[in-house]
Structure 1
Amino acid sequence: MRTPVSSGSPTPLQQRSFRFLLIATVGGFSGYALLLPVVPLWAVAGGAGEVAAGATNAVFMLVTVLTQVLMPWLLKRVDCRALFALGTLLIGAPTPLFALSTDMWVLLGVSALRGVGFGILTVTGSALTAELVPIAQRGRAAAYYGLAIGLPNVALLPAGVWLSSRIGFGPLFWAAGAVPMLAALTALGVERVRLKDPKRAAPASTATLLPSWTIMAVNTAAAGGLTAFLPLAVDSSVAPAALLIFAAATMLGRWLAGHLGDRFGQRGVLAPSALLGGLGVLLLALAAWTADPVALAGAAVFGAGFGAVQNTTLILMLERVDSATASTAWNIAYDGGHGLGAIGFGVLIASTGYPTTFAITGALLLACRVLAARRWA
């Protein structure tokens, strides 16, 4: 149920602990974003093939999801702030070890260690966002948290590749390790949070998460597939701008959804958000078929819808179960959906081509709009 916000209540940004959480989140995700495209390049520079190079990120994401599965158990036993700091530290501390060797066992081992850290960081960050602010302000808090995640991705994903060619891999690995380690110290400014026992805090069954979880997973799978294959589906002169617009629109959509959701209720925002996502992907299907410039409009519309879906599904999950369970389920939908989307798109594209694959995806997202309109979403 939506709870009115008192005019005297401090906003999320006026709360000291939440500000420290945002600063630490930017640092932690900077270490992630800088190296996501760089580690495969380092593997190729050492003589690895494309499949082996891709395995570095695949292992990273696999370990991330496996760690996330264990987080509800861990959060019942350990202070959430301490786990957040540990996750941020594990993103950074092993990173300079990449510079020691391009042997695959080194690259995969370090990637796995960092995956543990990223799994901890993502779940505890979402949980702290929910716990540090009043319930009626969770939408806005999640929106600001989304900005803290999104800005490093927009700025540093392309910057990592550029820096590797300018300063070299070794210095970049040290820099990408130092930033999250400093962020782990910043996390000490966040107040201690011990999450409530889920059995006492949320009697509702986790099955009630399924509609929102499904909407989030389908939208994330679409985002994962489209970001992987859009550069191949449209003209190379259009693709970079489309991806940049998508990233920016995602942040804007999440920010707007957070404010609108707190004011009008999350369910009233979710259905239009899912509709926007479906329409945006259908525009991308049109761009892949004949009209490349339409990709810019499609990327903007899909990005806005995807960002809004991210925020609203997280808050709806938090309304149903405890923070640890909701954060874990949402992050698994996000990270697992990205990987499954890239694989699923590859299979569909091989058999039907880009326009048809994008059109099928758009239809699935429009079906999510129907699901979102139901009360049980």
Structure 2
Amino acid sequence: MIRSRSSSSAPPETAPPPDGLPGLRGRGFALLIAATAVGMTGFAAVLPLVPLWASRGGAGEFGAGGTTAAFMLTTVLTQLCMPWLLERGGGYRWAFPVGAFVMGAPTPLFPATTDLAPLIALSAVRGVGFGMVTVAGTALAARLVPGDQMGRATGYYGLAVGLPQVLILPGGVGVALNLGFDTAFWITGLCSVAGSALSAGVWFADGGRNRPALRGAGRGRGSAARTGRVPFSALAAPLVLMLLTASAASAVVTFVAIPLEGAAWLVSGVLATYALGAVVGRWSAGSLHDRLRRSLLLMPGVAVAAAGTALTSAALWWQDDGGRPGVGVAVLAVAGAAVFGLGFGAVQNETVTLMLNRAGPAGFGRASAVWNIGFDGGTGAGAMGLGLVIQLLGYGPAFALTAVALAAALPLARAGGPVRSGAETRR
């Protein structure tokens, strides 16, 4: 379909979806969103909790970051295998349920020890499940809808991942600090197991109309759409941008709670505004993508993320002096987290839609794997690398270097977009 839908026509989700797919209003898509929102609670809450628990055991910033790095290492290794499992191993049916269970079941074991080695081992096991969930979830969000709904589908999926974090990121830390780490880890583990049960119903929803999509039947034209073999050069620029911005996000989520621990309310506020900003940024990018059939927010998103990181750097540089955070630190920290979240959310949706559009339907598994490797690899590298820089230079300088790296990537973001949506060329 070359021409975009006029503003006076009915919304795309109210029209009969092509290819017999139920689309955004289907029960299968609704189950996927519900399973993601519930299951990802086990990721969002635990991500800052494990480093905080490790630091209380005397691990130090580098060791605390190592728990996140181990989680992300096994995540990325699992994601490398996921395209084969999805396209040839029937993985669209079982990958999400099994992955969510593996992510949640070991979580209540964390309070048993503060020794770094078992914490890293548990994190590594959970990373396998997370790797399965992320690739399967992103690919399913695209496969369960027609091409002209893909921007909103990935946006809804982003909402399902991000909205719980508005409460869970700060709430998990709050529960741990006030009710105990045992309670926090048990609740989050059970949430992931519940997400596993919900996701099992996607296959059976909508009278079986999802099954061709889940089996991976190609719906596009051209060699990439038929075979799923996507040239890496087509995905390289959005991958690098995802790596860089995810590294910066990892710095916010993993380390901000440590220097600001003396003001639990401020930690909660920073994490909540970051998560809310990411949700708004991702949903806005997805809606604009479907409306204009173009990706326009990639470069602005990177610029906004760099600005937010710079504000956070100023707050933590100030806080490096020690003591309880003052009003100035609080304002800068909350503002920086909100601004960074907006930019990061936009970059998330722009990069994933770029990759999915360039890959075509038969390459959704591969594109999803590459994007999630960028996200999670960047998160792990950011946790480990920034932990080392923080130990050497302090929190403020480490975040300032991150802001400089994001600003340096602006030319790459400009080269990577705007790009016409592949939904137009597939129809």
CA contact (8 A) 2:101 2:193 kept: yes
Give the distance between the partners of 1:78 and 1:356, measured in 2 at CA.
Answer: 47
Matches within 5 A, 1:269-280: 269-280=297-308
Change (3 A) 1:95 1:229: closer
Give the distance between the partners of 1:39 and 1:83, measured in 2 at CA.
Answer: 25
TM superposition shift of 1:180: 2.3
Hey, what does 2:30 align to over in structure 1?
Answer: 19
Give the distance between the partners of 1:166 and 1:233, measured in 2 at CA.
Answer: 18
Change (3 A) 1:194 1:208: same
Give the distance between the partners of 2:117 and 2:399, measured in 1 at CA.
Answer: 37
Give the distance between the partners of 2:404 and 2:181, measured in 1 at CA.
Answer: 42
Change (3 A) 1:279 1:175: closer
Hey, what does 2:164 align to over in structure 1?
Answer: 152
Give the distance between the partners of 2:200 and 2:240, measured in 1 at CA.
Answer: 35
Hey, what does 1:210 align to over in structure 2?
Answer: 236
TM-score, structure 2 normalization? 0.76
Hey, what does 1:92 align to over in structure 2?
Answer: 104
Hey, what does 2:269 align to over in structure 1?
Answer: 241
Structure 1 letter corresponding to 2:380: G
Matches within 5 A, 1:134-173: 134-164=146-176, 170=182, 172-173=184-185
TM superposition shift of 1:333: 1.0
Change (3 A) 1:164 1:261: same
TM superposition shift of 1:303: 1.4
Report SS of the residue matched to 2:36. Answer: helix
Alignment counterpart, residue 377 of structure 2, candidates 322, 336, 361: 336
- The yes-or-no answer on 1:113 pairing with 2:125 is yes
With 183-192 and 136-145 compared, the bigger mean Cα shift is at 183-192
Alignment counterpart, residue 364 of structure 2, candidates 323, 331, 341: 323
Aligned residues: 376
- The yes-or-no answer on 1:195 pairing with 2:216 is yes
TM superposition shift of 1:232: 6.7
Long gaps (5+) in structure 1: none
CA contact (8 A) 1:225 1:344 kept: no
TM superposition shift of 1:100: 6.5
Hey, what does 2:93 align to over in structure 1?
Answer: 81
With 194-203 and 20-29 compared, the bigger mean Cα shift is at 194-203
Structure 2 letter corresponding to 1:243: L
Structure 2 letter corresponding to 1:302: F
TM superposition shift of 1:229: 4.3
- The yes-or-no answer on 1:311 pairing with 2:349 is yes
CA contact (8 A) 1:4 1:136 kept: no
Hey, what does 1:297 align to over in structure 2?
Answer: 335
Hey, what does 1:268 align to over in structure 2?
Answer: 296
Give the distance between the partners of 1:68 and 1:341, measured in 2 at CA.
Answer: 18
Report SS of the residue matched to 1:268. Answer: coil
Give the distance between the partners of 2:194 and 2:365, measured in 1 at CA.
Answer: 25
Hey, what does 1:373 align to over in structure 2?
Answer: 414
With 61-70 and 259-268 compared, the bigger mean Cα shift is at 259-268
String of CA shifts for 1:171-209, please: whole Å, max 9, x gaps.
554443332222222113313402257783445412210
TM-score, structure 1 normalization? 0.85
Give the distance between the partners of 2:58 and 2:317, measured in 1 at CA.
Answer: 35
String of CA shifts for 1:60-100, please: whole Å, max 9, x gaps.
22211211111112112223131111111212233445577
CA contact (8 A) 2:68 2:383 kept: no
What's the % identity of the aligned pairs? 42
Give the distance between the partners of 1:65 and 1:163, measured in 2 at CA.
Answer: 29
Long gaps (5+) in structure 2: 15-22, 204-210, 219-223, 319-327, 420-427
With 328-337 and 74-83 compared, the bigger mean Cα shift is at 74-83
Alignment counterpart, residue 9 of structure 1, candidates 12, 21, 41: 12
TM superposition shift of 1:307: 0.5
Structure 1 letter corresponding to 2:126: R
Hey, what does 2:17 align to over in structure 1?
Answer: none
Report SS of the residue matched to 2:13. Answer: coil
Change (3 A) 1:345 1:266: farther
Hey, what does 1:281 align to over in structure 2?
Answer: 309
CA contact (8 A) 2:106 2:122 kept: yes
Give the distance between the partners of 2:386 and 2:398, measured in 1 at CA.
Answer: 7
Give the distance between the partners of 2:164 and 2:256, measured in 1 at CA.
Answer: 21
- The yes-or-no answer on 1:34 pairing with 2:45 is yes
CA contact (8 A) 1:3 1:136 kept: no
With 219-228 and 61-70 compared, the bigger mean Cα shift is at 219-228
Report SS of the residue matched to 2:12. Answer: coil
- The yes-or-no answer on 1:128 pairing with 2:140 is yes
Structure 2 letter corresponding to 1:260: L
Give the distance between the partners of 1:184 and 1:294, measured in 2 at CA.
Answer: 39
String of CA shifts for 1:107-156, please: whole Å, max 9, x gaps.
55443332211110011011101111111211111111111111232322
With 265-274 and 120-129 compared, the bigger mean Cα shift is at 265-274
Change (3 A) 1:112 1:140: same
CA contact (8 A) 2:301 2:347 kept: yes
CA contact (8 A) 1:2 1:136 kept: no
Structure 2 letter corresponding to 1:259: S
- The yes-or-no answer on 1:362 pairing with 2:403 is yes
